[in-house]
Amino acid sequence: MADQLRGWRCKEPLLLFLLLEILWGAGAGPIRYSVLEELEKGSFVGNIAKDLGLEPRELAERGVRIVSRGRTQLFALNPQSGSLVTAGRINREELCAQSAPCLVSFNILVENNMKMYGVEIEIIDINDNFPRFRDEEVKVKVNENAATGTRLVLPFARDADVSVNSLQSYQLSRNMHFSLEEKSGADGQKYPELVLERPLDREKVAVHDLFLTALDGGDPVLSSTMHIRVMVLDANDNAPLFTRSEYRVSVPENIPVGTRLLTLTATDPDEGINGELTYSFRNEEDKISETFKLDSNLGEISTLQSLDYEESRFYLMEVVAQDGGALLASAKVLITVQDVNDNAPEVILTSLASSISEDCPPGTIIALFSVHDGDSGENGEILCSIPRNLPFKLEKSVDNYYHLLTTKGLDREEISDYNITVTVIDCGNPPLSTESHISLTVANINDNPPIFPHTSYSTYILENNPRGISILSVTAHNPDSGNNAKVTYSLAEDTLQGMPLSSYVSINSNTGILYALGSFDYEQVKDLQLWVMASDSGDPPLRSNMSLSLFVLDQNDNAPEILYPSIPTDGSTGVELAPRSAEPGYLVTKVVAVDRDSGQNAWLSYRLLKASEPGPFAVGLHTGEVRTARALLDRDALKQSLSLVVAVQDHGQPPLSATVTLTVAVADNIPDVLADLGSLEPAADPDASGLTRYLVVAVAAVSCIFLAFVIVLLALRLRRWHASRLLQASGGGLVGVPASRFVGVDGVRAFLQTYSHEVSLTADSRKSHVIFPQPNYADTLISQESCGKSEPLLIYEKININEERGVVQVRFLFQYGCL
């Protein structure tokens, strides 16, 4: 047998090229090839690259692959040659059994454009199977009185091959009593029968041994032999008889196991053992005996296991009824299985793009899948759908393949992931359905710039802040993802007071926290205008900006500064003069102070901190004006110069203050002052000079004033309330003065024009001389031209004593106001 197979394989290459056909439809239909079975793995089937219009190297580049459902891959693609080859040995009998022709269908998928091409390959049979009898030996009983021409049905042989390679004929060994005849059934099967040619005589020959040989039509011819033992029985002259020669029954595939399908009935007119009938299957296949059960006494056929229409649509069997005398009759039984809707449709995903860019155009293919239902007829008709509220649709491809594609543009910021439910439902009753879920991720592109919640921000920071303190945290949101959503922050380049903004503040590029690089001074920088920019990390990057106003808040870090009276630079002591005839409320002088802070930190109040003689003077709380609180008494003499300490305090927290000491001399007129000063002549001895005596007297006077101040301290505190009333009353003393007579410096008003005449005298009469300088402006806060007609408002004197030079300087100040 092996020699026969080798002889056949030697002719395989020639037969291969003789039988190979590539059938192209005119622009439609599958690609057709044919190939012999049992070829070696890798055997050439067809030039699929040429038939697809591709070069061999394009098979891998375009992702060409075989798509088949539910069976072992029988063929493969050779990417080097572009050929379709066998993936292994192909057994036609396992694929198609007795069906002819044997066709294997599958699809070729071109991945890059998701196109499908049908391929149909015919598997050509070779003579690789012997005809086979089920049993190597069979016993046949025959009555000895059987008439010439009696026919005895014999078991037939089966050949898995088809066409000329299948079973063609039988041969019977030579004998004297029997001949062989063949009958062909409707299914093409050949059935052998023994025909009695001569009468039998059991007493002479009880057993006849015959050999039946089955032959196929292959080249070389294959055969097999069965031993037949013909047992000659005593006479039984009536054979069984079935009521019908063929029984047919149709049953649904879902009937329960053990259901009785039909009952066969045969009769035998004989009596006794010759009339007792037994039923059995003849020549049944294993599949028949595993699926059905035949009651040997009753002739009832029932199921042993569930029926499946998709596995076998009908069952054909032969039932024999035999009596006790070895006579028998046969009948054909055809059981047809009816399809019921017991198979739900299934979805097979062939190709899927799990991620798709949000800028993909409508009509982009996302997935390729096929649907299948194992039922037939309406039960196998399938409807496929997806939800209507999704931007996708289904499009029918070849066979039962569908494309899932987009219908409009996608926006990842609205929906980033889709879970698409594909529902397939058949047309059975009741219908069965299956759902398959396809997950799709929308890939992000950089189509959204960072967005600030507001286009402008305002924030505040106290001056004198620590270096590196965080001021504000800004955040911009980007609805994109990944690097496209990573936001970095920066400040726009600009300058302030000739310095770049980057020297004042900086921003953390990752967190958006704004830091102060130095300590702010409200008096120098009151606010900053910044532009904060947010940029993503996309390609190209997108950016946005927002305006930030940074206001510096004032702190009370500047004490009041006293502008008047100013401290002399020549070492002299300033003395303010007041006439003895001054009425209460007489303006002696005015303390002028400013504060570089702002707001309540720059609101100034004045108060009399200490006085050598309590009671004569009061200070305006808000104006700083020093006025007489009562009429001056005789004791308020020049040599008893009154010393006043005025405190100027702001309203900050904590409050800051400054003090100034005023010395007020009381005199009726200027000549009196000059006469007193002229009496101060120097002594002959330097140690007893008049200047020294004057200084001693001045020191004694100051000591007396201090002692008096200590004594009347308690009285001053008790009179504070009364003094505050007087101060409030004196605050209206300048109501009649036009506003143009003052100039404002951060809320503090000072007189506009002051004329002064100075008289300098020496204590030595020998060198005495009087100097009358020309009038000049001592304090010109505005130009003279800004004032029209002016009249003197008041006259007061100031005495400066320079001990080192021995000079007494008297200044007469004439203050004018604009009318």
* Residue found under tokens 């995903």: 349
Q: Does residue 545 lie within any of the structural domains?
A: yes
| Residue 3: strand, helix, or coil | helix
* Low-confidence residues in the chain, pLDDT < 50: 1-27, 571-572, 638-639, 677-688, 730-819
Distance separating alpha carbons of residues 162 and 756, to the nearest angstrom: 145
Determine contact, residues 437/349, Cβ cutoff 8 Å.
no
Among 518, 480, 478, residue whose Cα is nearest residue 496:
518
Same domain for 247 and 221: no
- Eight-state DSSP code of residue 404: E
The DSSP symbol for 485 reads G
Compute the distance between CA of residue 282 and CA of residue 152 in angstroms, rounded to an integer: 13
Domain count, the chain: 6
Question: One-letter amino acid identity for 369?
Answer: F
Helix (H/G/I), strand (E/B), else coil: 179: strand
Task: State the CATH number of the domain containing residue 173.
Answer: 2.60.40.60
Residue 771 lies in a domain: no
d(CA 744, CA 752): 10
Report the Cα 139 to chain-centroid distance in Å.
Answer: 82
What pLDDT is attached to residue 177? 92
Helix (H, G, I), strand (E, B) or coil at 344: coil
**pLDDT tens-digit map of 313-351:** 899 999 999 988 778 899 999 999 988 888 889 898 888
- What is the secondary structure of 575-589 as a DSSP string? -EEE-TTPPTT-EEE
11: in domain: no
Q: Omega before 565 cis (within 30°)?
A: yes
C-alpha 636/C-alpha 643 separation (Å) is 12
How far apart (Å, rounded) are the C-alpha atoms in residues 705 and 713? 12
Name which of 107, 125, 168 is nearest 19 in CA terms: 125
Same domain, 541 and 586: no
Q: Is residue 88 part of a domain?
A: yes
Same domain, 249 and 310: yes
What is the distance, to the nearest Å, from the Cα of residue 104 to the centroid of all Cα atoms in its chain? 47
Alpha carbon separation from 319 to 16, 29, 281, 333, 449 (Å, rounded): 44, 45, 5, 7, 85
Same domain flag for 665 and 594: yes
Let me know how long the chain is: 819
d(CA 233, CA 200): 10
Residue after which a domain boundary falls, among 308, 338, 368: 338
Q: How far apart are CA 655 and CA 669, in angstroms?
A: 41
Alpha carbons 435 and 569: distance in angstroms, whole number: 103
Report which of 612, 594, 590, 610 is spatially closest to residue 602, judged by C-alpha positions. 594
Q: Which pLDDT score, from 0 to 100, does residue 265 have?
A: 92
Residue 301 and residue 207 share a domain: no
Residue reference for tokens 């009399």: 608
Q: Are strands 433-443 and 355-357 parallel, antiparallel or unpaired?
A: parallel
Q: Which residues of 476-507 are buried (b: 16+ CB within 10 A; e: fewer)?
A: bebbbeeebbbbbbbbeeeeeeeeebeebbbb
CA 22 centroid distance within chain: 52
The answer to whether residues 543 and 568 belong to one domain is no
Report strand pairing: 417-426 vs 382-385. antiparallel
Round the CA-based radius of gyration of the chain to a whole number and report it.
Answer: 65
Full-model pTM: 0.48
> Are the C-beta atoms of 819 and 789 separated by less than 8 Å?
yes
Instruction: Give CA separation, 160 vs 74, 95, 128, 499, 739, in Å.
Output: 20, 11, 9, 101, 131
618, 636, 670: which is the final residue of a domain? 670
In a domain? residue 28: no
The number of angstroms, rounded, from the C-alpha of 656 to the middle of its chain's C-alpha atoms is: 58
Predicted confidence at residue 92, as pLDDT, reads 84
Whether residue 363 is found in the same domain as residue 412: yes
Same domain, 74 and 154: no
| Same domain membership, residue 370 and residue 326 | no
The gap between the terminal CA atoms of the chain, to the nearest Å, is 148
Q: Where in the sequence is the domain holding 155, given as residue range(s)?
A: 137-233
Distances (CA, A) of 373 to 119, 311, 602: 21, 13, 93
DSSP for residue 519: -
Do 116 and 145 share a structural domain?
no
Give 814's Cβ-side CA count (13 Å radius): 11
Domain contains 41: yes
Plot region of 188 (φ>0 → left; ψ -120 to 50 → alpha; else → beta): left
What phi-psi label fits residue 299: left (phi over 0), alpha (psi between -120 and 50 degrees) or beta? left
Phi, psi of 612 (to 5 degrees): -70, -30
Kind plus residue range of the DSSP H or E element containing 58: helix 58-61
Q: Is 280 domain-assigned?
A: yes
Helix (H, G, I), strand (E, B) or coil at 95: helix
Residue 473 in domain? yes
Q: What is the pLDDT of residue 781?
A: 31
Do residues 406 and 466 share a domain? no
Tokens of 818: 């604009």
Contact 334, 247 (CB under 8 A): yes
What pLDDT is stored for residue 283 in this prediction? Answer: 79
In one-letter notation, the amino acid at residue 484 is N
Choose the final residue of a domain: 89, 124, 159.
Answer: 124
- For residue 131 the two structure tokens come to 């005809």
Please tell me the distance from the alpha carbon of residue 576 to that of residue 241, in angstroms, as a whole number.
163
86 secondary structure, DSSP code: E
Query: Same domain for 112 and 193?
Result: no
**Which pLDDT score, from 0 to 100, does residue 331 have?**
93
What CA–CA distance (Å, rounded) separates 123 from 139? 39
